[in-house]
Structure 1
Amino acid sequence: MSIKKILETYDDMQLQEVARQYEIRGYYKLNRNELIVKLLQNICYTAEQIFCALKIDYLTWWYNCSFGIIYEWDLEEDYFPLLNYFLVASDENKRLFIPVEIKNVYEKIYRTSQFENTRKLVDSIRIYRDGLLNLYGAVELYWFREMHSKEWGKKISIAECYKWLGILRSLYGGCKIIQDFIVHESLYCITEADFYTLKMATRGMDYYEPTPQEVLLYSNELYYVESVYISKLRTYLEENYNIPDENIEVALSTLIVMNRALQFKGDILIEEILKRFSLSGIEIVSQTQFDELAPLVGGVIKSMRAWRCKGHVDMQFNAEVLKLGRNDECPCGSGKKYKKCCIR
């Protein structure tokens, strides 16, 4: 099946939706035939860029889908953007059809060294995008390019940044560019005021500078550094709540994500986190339970990196609340004993 034949089955509203997806300017001024011709000119070029931005499992899935049969129960929601971009048609037998022109693009570029090099570049951009956003929430383009160059060996251009970040956003979501910042979606999904609040609150702070290995680790939004404070909290939950281990891990993940992203801190942050713990079966029904859990949660908070500190560990901790001993591990994450680090 060809692109033209698939497009000819679309009504005018569907054609205009595809035109918006492919960012065709002035599409509303074109008649039906002109719009189909314009789409034909854009779709194959865009497909080539999309192939370069696909994760390897998506690329494998697409290959199997294009050159075989893939059934309904394999069509996970994650793959929906690919179906849009590759103009997939289907029949009553649950088979999928991708236009022959798109298959030809894939066959033409797949085995070239340029394709593989571009894929490596885009994959590194995706990892740095996710890793730095999980550390900072919002990162200036200049710093993103600086950090990425340590991995890639040279700075990519601003134009390349905009191009590949735009395609990655179309495929996977996660962020957009506001002013000269790459911004995590949680800072604009409700209102962009959340981004501007964080920007003002962290103005004048230096970015924490991660190693390439740390960036890779933090590209997983649930990654955290196992510390004495997390260990103490986990042990307390295991000993005092009759809940599955996976519920405890969900509670820890909730703590990590909330601490990283929420811009308030102190007692308010601790209370908000403890409220969310109830979703994991950790109900706080007495003041004694609260008094026991609060300093444990506070210890984890003050020992972890957060957006409000531009990726640094929150150093404004209260040693008495955390009940730190001189020989305990310092909550700044250095790995040194408290007496040889931040106590000085």
Structure 2
Amino acid sequence: MQNEEQISFGDVEAHYYVDLSKYYVYAHKNHFVHETIMEFNDFKSMLRKKADKPYYVPNQEELLKYSDPNYYEKPKQYHDLYKYSRKHFFAGDDEKAELLCENIMWKCRDDFNIQKVFDLFNIFEVNFKDEKQVNEVMQMVTELANNVRLWENNGHTPNEIFEKFEKPNLRPLPDEPFEFDAAEMKIGNKVGRNDPCPCGSGKKYKKCCLGKDERK
């Protein structure tokens, strides 16, 4: 609990329709549900994944940051990947490195798949110098994926769930080095205006990251 004085459900009900809708969250079957879950018909699936996992409760300082609809926690692993990408792929270009890493983080939060993450490197026209670098980046991405907060874990990271409750939830690194086709890894296909945005937001590209990409 963050406050000594507690509020009733009636107090919440009096405000949530207006206030939560600003953040694309709505009441559905005694739950507060983000519209992305409803649009993709994932409500029942999400409940099964959440099961009886305990809820993550941030401290008050962290909690208040979420009043900004664009805020999300960036763990140390995000900053490690950002610094590496900025140095090795974008020659110090902060904006491109940040945009790539933000998109990767969205992929880590939404049905993580390492190949889909590397598709983003294609879109950003990243050239890997060799397989050793590919595997080095893959390890950083996997570590990031294990340290992002997930709806299906009730706000906990996979690492936190692993440490406290369920070892199988940790995403393991592959036993074998990641094999890749150098030609395919070099340049990706151009995203169409009406295609799903590669950042994983669920929105069309033209209504999401298109403006950011055009400013690069």
Contact 1:222 1:257 in 2 (8 A): no
The equivalent position to 1:291 in structure 2, one of 129, 135, 149, is: 135
Question: 2:30 is matched by which residue type in structure 1?
Answer: D
Question: 1:253 is matched by which residue type in structure 2?
Answer: E
Structure having greater relative contact order (Cα 8 Å, sep ≥ 6): 2
What are structure 1's unaligned runs of at least 5 residues? 1-146, 322-344
Contact 1:176 1:182 in 2 (8 A): yes
Q: How many angstroms apart in 1 are the aligned matches of 2:73 and 2:86? A: 19
Give 2:42's aligned residue. Answer: 194
- Asked if 1:254 corresponds to 2:98, the answer is no
TM-score (norm 1): 0.41
Aligned-pair CA distance for 1:154 = 1.4
Aligned-pair CA distance for 1:198 = 1.0
CA shift digits 1:205-247 (9 cap, x unpaired): 11112211121224444432441x3343223212321352111
The equivalent position to 2:9 in structure 1, one of 145, 158, 165, is: 158
Structure number with the higher helix fraction is 1
Larger Cα Rg: Structure 1 or Structure 2?
A: 1
CA shift digits 1:162-206 (9 cap, x unpaired): 331111245x25111111111112111x23x21221111111111
- Asked if 1:177 corresponds to 2:20, the answer is no
Q: How many angstroms apart in 1 are the aligned matches of 2:128 and 2:81? A: 18
Contact 2:150 2:156 in 1 (8 A): yes
Give 2:146's aligned residue. Answer: 302
The CA RMSD over aligned residues, in Å, is 2.8
Give 1:214's aligned residue. Answer: 62
TM-score (norm 2): 0.63
Distance 1:152 1:246, change over 3 A: farther
Query: Runs ≥4 in structure 1, deviation > 6 angstroms?
Result: none
Contact 2:146 2:171 in 1 (8 A): yes
Give 1:342's aligned residue. Answer: none
What are structure 2's unaligned runs of at least 5 residues? 160-169, 176-216
Aligned-pair CA distance for 1:312 = 1.2
CA shift digits 1:117-147 (9 cap, x unpaired): xxxxxxxxxxxxxxxxxxxxxxxxxxxxxx5
